[in-house]
Amino acid sequence: MHATLHMLSHLVVTTLFPSRCLICHDLLQETGSLCRDHFHALNLVGDPCCTLCGFPFEFSSGESVLCAECIHNPPAYDTGRTVMHYDSLSRVLITRLKYGDYTDLAVTLAPMLHRAGGAFLSDCDMIIPVPLHWRRLLQRTYNQSALLGGLVSQLSGVPMLPDGMVRTRHTPQQAGLDRKDRLKNVKRAFTVNHRHADRLAGARVCLIDDVITTGATIDACCRALKQARVEKIYVLSMARTLRGHA
């Protein structure tokens, strides 16, 4: 397992060399990836929030409420939760996680993801990471969503099916595309792994993604999972675009 090897080598490195904050490069007292100031600067999402998609509300009304978007245009999943806003700070973290080979960062982030999924992880039969196309997997050597998913699986005891879904088309980078183009870009780009068809039918699945921006990728994954007769879909993400509530 590539990811495990990466993590082990990082463990060795972080033991031999003290950690520094990924943002300001200050030396850290404890192991981790962020100094106290930058950790507190993270724009975390929590309660009160939309019962369905997790969109944060400023005030609690004391009962389960849906956001305007979920009332008018409900998502394809049953429940979704995210850890933080996708802003300039979380963008740096996620970019490091994706391209920078900072797998120890995943160890810092996974418990937050586990906590965010507290409402539904105990109801899940399996965790499935949003897949990368094999060509991109070769470039990056690991899938950041699978890395997070594996750690959440360890923390929650919910088994991970790393190849539950496959990316059938090598879609161009989503960055820089508007919502319409993204939807077109990812439509039919995902399918379930038919080897697991029996396990997926009737299952309650937790999809894990690092970032949700327009939601086009998650929509495409949900469509494929529903075709495979998955009973319930939960979505857990590290960060999500919240401005404009796309």
Under the binding rule (CB under 5 A), the answer on residue 50 touching Zn ion is: yes
Backbone CA torsion sign across 166, 169, 173, 174: negative
- What are the structure tokens assigned to 149, written together? 């998913």
| 52 counts as binding Zn ion under rule CB under 5 A | yes
Distant-in-sequence, close-in-space partners of 63: CB < 8 Å, separation ≥ 6: none
Query: Which of residues 5, 8, 13, 24 is near Zn ion by CB under 5 A?
Result: 24
The single residue among 3, 35, 127, 218 that binds Zn ion, judged by CB under 5 A, is 35
> Which residue, 79 or 191, has its beta carbon nearer to Zn ion?
79
If binding is defined by CB under 5 A, does position 45 make contact with Zn ion? no
Shortest distance, position 62 Cβ to Zn ion, whole Å: 17
Cβ of residue 96: shortest distance to Zn ion, in angstroms?
13
User: What's the gap between Cα 186 and its chain centre?
Assistant: 17
> Interface residues for Zn ion in 69-128 (CB under 5 A)?
70
For Zn ion, which is the closer residue by CB, 109 or 228? 109
Residue 191 or 214 with smaller CB distance to Zn ion: 214
78 and 233 Cβ atoms separated by less than 8 Å: yes
Pick the stretch among 35-43, 87-95, 125-133, 215-223 that binds Zn ion (CB under 5 A): 35-43
Q: Judged by CB under 5 A, does residue 68 bind Zn ion?
A: no
Query: Which position has the token pair 């960055």?
Result: 175
Task: List all residues 6 or more positions away from 27 whose beta carbon is below 8 Å from its beta carbon.
Answer: 18, 19, 20
Cα 246–chain centre separation = 16
Binding part of the chain for Zn ion, among 40-48, 60-68, 172-180, 216-224 by CB under 5 A, reads: 60-68
Stretch that binds Zn ion, among 49-57, 174-182, 224-232, 234-242 (CB under 5 A): 49-57
Q: What is the DSSP string of 150-198?
A: HHHHHHH-PPB-TTSEEE-S-PPP-TT--HHHHHHHHTT-EEE-GGGHH
Judged by the rule CB under 5 A, the positions of this chain that interact with Zn ion are 21, 23-24, 35, 38, 50, 52-53, 55, 67, 70
